[in-house]
Every structure is written in structure tokens, then in C-alpha cells.
Amino acid sequence: MFQSFEVTARPEQGPPRLAALRTELERERLDGFIVPRADAHQGEYVAARDGRLAWLTGFTGSAGFCVALRNVAGVFVDGRYRTQVKAQVASDFTPVPWPDVSLSAWLKQQLPDGGKVAFDPWLHSAGQITATRAELQNCGIELVPSDNLVDRIWSDQPPPPMNPVKVHPLEFAGESAESKVSRLASALARNGRSAAVITLPDSIMWLLNIRGSDIPYNPVAHGFAILQADGHVDLFMAAKKLNGMDEHLGPRVSIHEPDAFLNAVAALEGAVQVDMGTLPQAVADVLGDRAVDGGDPCARPKACKNEAEIAGSAAAHLRDAAAVIETLCWLDAQPPGSLTETQVVTRLEENRRRDNALQDISFDTIAGTGPNGAIMHYRVTEETDSRLEDGHILVLDSGGQYLDGTTDITRTIPIGTVGDEEKTCFTRVLKGMIAMSQLRWPVGLAGRDIECIARAPLWAAGQDFNHGVGHGVGAYLSVHEGPQRLARVSHVPLEPGMILSNEPGYYREGAFGIRIENLLVVEEAPALPGADPERAMLCWRTLTYVPIDRRLIVVDMLTSAERDWLNAYHRDVAEKVRPRLSHAAQLWLDAATAPL
């Protein structure tokens, strides 16, 4: 099994650590300190050194934060983690349903007489701090920058990662770094910007056609960059990571140590493009009114994959499908009660490792059986490892990081004889997944405009799920990639080349979970007879080819069109993947893809 490098903490470790943090609050005469799950680069994933939220509270979700006041400590989590947080934090911490309850509203309730709440300005974006300060106006509560109080008490905090960087080959990147830099620099100049500040690691990796390993499962290296409008790049990254990279980076890229970054920002002249949603407040304070919120210049170009990136992703998905199908074949041959979640995870990761192009898994494999499946981002541990018992359904969500693409797939599998209610819910989820897969939509629509398509069958039954329908996916980069999403909060128009997941689900706490996930790429839709010629449309092309379990489908709930889609999908699965399989898996696939 691939090793996990994330910080973890047992619930009983939280109270003494919280007490130590409160001692620091008293010493500094502060009323509270905010502990986000973030680092100075403002990406979604963090290295072990930056796992402050998990170290303090025990909560290991990929989003959330803690606000430690002198008499209460709130752990703010969204709908994905409201079951998980209950199991991971001690009673000294109070889960807060976020964003239903905002940080400002909670602070006003907890500090009615006002107070000073500190934050590390490197760990919060300028947009976050500006918005929260505006909401706290005239209530006596002040947000004040501070050094990191958790770092003061974390005696064995891991060191910063210093892993080597490697070149991402042009055959997979599809465009040279020189071309990318020139293209983006020209856009800055046209818009009257002297430079752009880039803090997101995946943006820097994409721009310079390099990859790293500073964060588990994500091929990125920590660093900052300034893209100048004249086509020069200043890269602020530890030199020891970049040994042997001079020829690849070339004369357009100047390398500096990270501690030179703020001084270089201070020396910039003219309008500087930034993304206030990811720019650390510490950098915004230095830029002042020179900062222009024009977004990360790499975000949209990175999201719109070129032909080489799409072809690589498609190829990676076919090889990945073979590994998943071999695992499902093996799983079906085991009697109920004979396997644990850990054994399933291990077998799947072993099958993926047979591909020499695999660099790592793309996230901790989720294998949740029975009630564990209702924990959306469940991660098996020694304490929670459960047997796959008769009547359970297993949620298996996994992916791989290949040199030519990033994969992410979820399948829900019955163990033994499964109840009718589970099958009914599964079929509703499947109907939503098919509806999204078949969708055509006008150019210009964003994820928020179409994500309800995947929820409609559940809504009709008074059901729903507390996560987005889909997220963007990188090209041998982060498995969660912005700015594109299929979510109610996403206003970014979908464009050709964007890769997103399609993963509706349903979760019944304490009982079972269901999720079905394929990755899709946005394409221009072919014209239809009678269509408005001036109304351009987009559609999806499926990248994931693994059977959807027929044993969980209530066939009578499907329309004829839905049955036709599923049968056609399964024909494609058999045609594309069968030659890559062992004889036993081929026989299993023949049965799994038989027409409904």
C-alpha cells in the first residue's frame, strides 16, 4: 500500500494541545486563533508540516478550520464531513456546520463583547480576510495578524518538504514551457499588467512543465512565482529541489530562494495581477493598491486541456480501468465476511502498481463498507477497518497519478444479498449520473447552471447529497483542480478541454453510502438536425470505462433511453478494456457488461 504522509491525531490528544494553545492566547492577550487547513501556497492539499488542523483537532478532512477561543473551540466543516468530524474530534471541540454558519456569525455569537482573534496571514487568502473583516465591522471583533501559535506548541512539527523536481515531458504536456510563458505574458501586457504573482503549486508546475512530490499524491513542489509581462519568470523555490533543471528552465527563468519572495513582490511596479481568492494576506499587505484581482493567469489555460493532455488522460484511464476491473473480479470471488476494507485497498493499489507509468495513487483510496460508506471521504484506519459482510454495499473511490494523466473513479459494489431500499437509492443515483453524461448545454453555462441535472432523480424522492456533483481534474496534476466545478457555487463557464468528475451519490448515516463516478471531458457538441445554427452547444465525452454494477439496478426504474445509454456504455467498456485483462477478468467482464 502507498504510504500516507498526512498528520493524524487521536481524539484524546486534542484537549491537551488545545490547552497549550490557550496558554499562548493568554500570553498574547488574544481572545482566539484561527487554525485553517492551509499552507502559504493556498492550495487544497497540504504537506505534513502544514497539517496544523489535524494535529490540533484530529479532523483529517480536506477542507475546514478551527477557531480556538478561550472557552470554546469550533471546528467548521462542510456537508461532506459532518459525519466524519464526530468520530475524529474530542468533546472539547464543537463541530460547526459551515458555510451554513459563517465564521463572522459564529464569532459574533461567541464574543458578544468583542475581542481580538488572531490569524497567520500566510494561511488565509486576502479575499477571505477582507470579506470577514467587512462582516465584523462595528461589532468590536478585530482580526489581527500574528505569527502561528500552533507552530509554537508543535514541538515535533515536520520540516518543510524538500523533494526534487523533475521535467514533465513535452509529449505529455503538449506545449512547451516557453510557449506557455510567452502566451500568458503577452496577455498580461495587453491588459496593462506589469506582472502576475502565482502562489498555487499546480499553476507553477503547469506553467514550467515540471512536477514535484512535496504533497502526498499530488505531483507538485512548493514555491512561488512572478510572471513578468516581458516574458521573464522569477521562481522562488529551494535550490536543492532544482538540481539539474537549468537547461530545462532556460534563461527566461531566474531561481531565487523562497525567503526572497516578499522583497521581490515589494519591488514590483505598476499593476500586478493576483487572485485574491488564493493570494495570501501576507503578500496582499506588501502589494497594497498595486494588486489587481484578475485571477491566476494559469488557471483557465491549465483547465482547458490540449490534445496531447486529453489523449494522455484517455490512455491512462484505459490502463487504470484494467486495474480496477481486475480488482472487482477478485472481489466478487471472495465470500461475504472474508475480506476487510484494508485488504480491498491493498489489492487495488497492487493492481495499479503493475503499470510502470504509475507514479502514485491520486488520493487515499476510499473503501467504505456498510455504515462506513456513508462517510463521504472515509479513510480506513486500524481502528475502523471493517469486514465486508453479507448485505453491505461497498463504496470504492480511488485513482492513480500516471505520467500521462490523473484518474478518479468510484464504483459501488454489493456484498452478498442487498436490500431493496439500497437498490432503489442506487438506481436514483445512476439515473442522475446518466442524465449528466447525456447532457448537451449552451456555451457559456457554468457548473452551477447544470449540476441539478444529476440531483433531479433524488430530489423527486425527497433525497439529496451534501457534496458537489463534480470537480475539475488535472493532467498528471491535482485530482481536484479549479476553477471548473459542477457545483452550486461555481460560476466559471465550462469550456472544451476541461475534465470534470460526474459523481452523484446518496448517504444514509449509520447505514450505507452510494456514489458512482466517471470522469468526463467537455467537447463541442455536433450539430443536430433542426438545431439553431447560431446556438453553439457543448457535450461530454466519457473517459472512464469500468462496469456499473448491474446487481444494484432496479431495471424497471430506468427509462428505455437510460437502459440504452448503459448498454452502450458497457459495450464500450468491453470493447476498450477486455483485451487488457487476464482471462478470468475477461470472463467476469463479459457477465458484468451483459445487456440489461
Segment 194-210, tens digit of pLDDT = 999 999 999 999 999 99
Please provide the average confidence, as pLDDT, over all residues in the chain: 96
Residue 80's pLDDT band, with cuts at 50, 70 and 90, is: confident
User: pLDDT confidence of 55, banded at 50, 70, 90?
Assistant: very high
User: Where is 29: in which H helix or E strand?
Assistant: none
pLDDT over 50 at 173, yes or no:
yes
H or E stretch covering 129 = helix 126-135
C-alpha to C-alpha distance for 570 and 99, rounded to whole angstroms? 39
For β-strands 272-274 and 195-198, DSSP reports them as: parallel
> Average pLDDT, stretch 431-442?
98
pLDDT at 345: 98
- What is the per-residue pLDDT across 228-247, written as a single tens digit (0 to 9) for each? 999 999 999 999 999 999 99
Closest CA to 126 of 2, 244, 277: 277
Query: In this structure, are residues 522 and 529 in contact, taking their beta carbons and an 8 Å threshold?
Result: no
pLDDT at 503: 98
How much is the pLDDT for 426?
Answer: 98
Taking the C-alpha atoms of residue 400 and residue 406, their distance in angstroms, rounded to an integer, is: 6
pLDDT at 4: 42
Tell me if 241 sits within 8 A of 211, measured CB to CB: no
Stretch 334-342: mean pLDDT:
97
Write the DSSP symbol of residue 336. Answer: T
pLDDT tens-digit map of 465-485? 999 999 999 999 999 999 999
Report the DSSP beta bridge partners of residue 143. Answer: 117
CA distance linking residue 17 with residue 247, whole number of Å:
47
Structure confidence at residue 64 as a pLDDT band (50, 70, 90): very high
In this structure, are residues 540 and 495 in contact, taking their beta carbons and an 8 Å threshold?
no
- Percentage of the chain exceeding pLDDT 70: 99
Minimal CA–CA distance to 78: which of 107, 116, 23, 37? 37
Tally Cβ neighbours within 10 Å of residue 109.
11
Whether the predicted pLDDT of 2 surpasses 80: no
For residues 275 and 590, give the distance between their C-alpha atoms in angstroms, rounded to a whole number.
50
Sole residue written with cell 485497498:
345
Q: Quick check: 1 pLDDT over 70?
A: no
pLDDT category of residue 83 using cuts at 50, 70 and 90:
confident
Residue 139 has phi, psi (to 5 degrees) of: -120, 0
The three cell numbers locating residue 572 = 464500450
Going from the N-terminus, what domains does the chain have, and what CATH number goes with each?
A: 11-153 (3.40.350.10), 166-302 (3.40.350.10), 304-592 (3.90.230.10)
More confident site: 168 or 63? 168
- 522: exposed, middle or buried (Cβ count in 10 Å: 0-12, 13-18, 19+): buried
Mean pLDDT across the stretch 38-64?
Answer: 91
Query: Residue 10's pLDDT band (boundaries 50, 70, 90)?
Result: confident
pLDDT of the residue at 555: 98
Neighbours of 263 (CB within 10 A): 10
pLDDT given for residue 3 in this prediction: 39
Quick one: pLDDT band at residue 6, thresholds 50, 70, 90? Answer: low
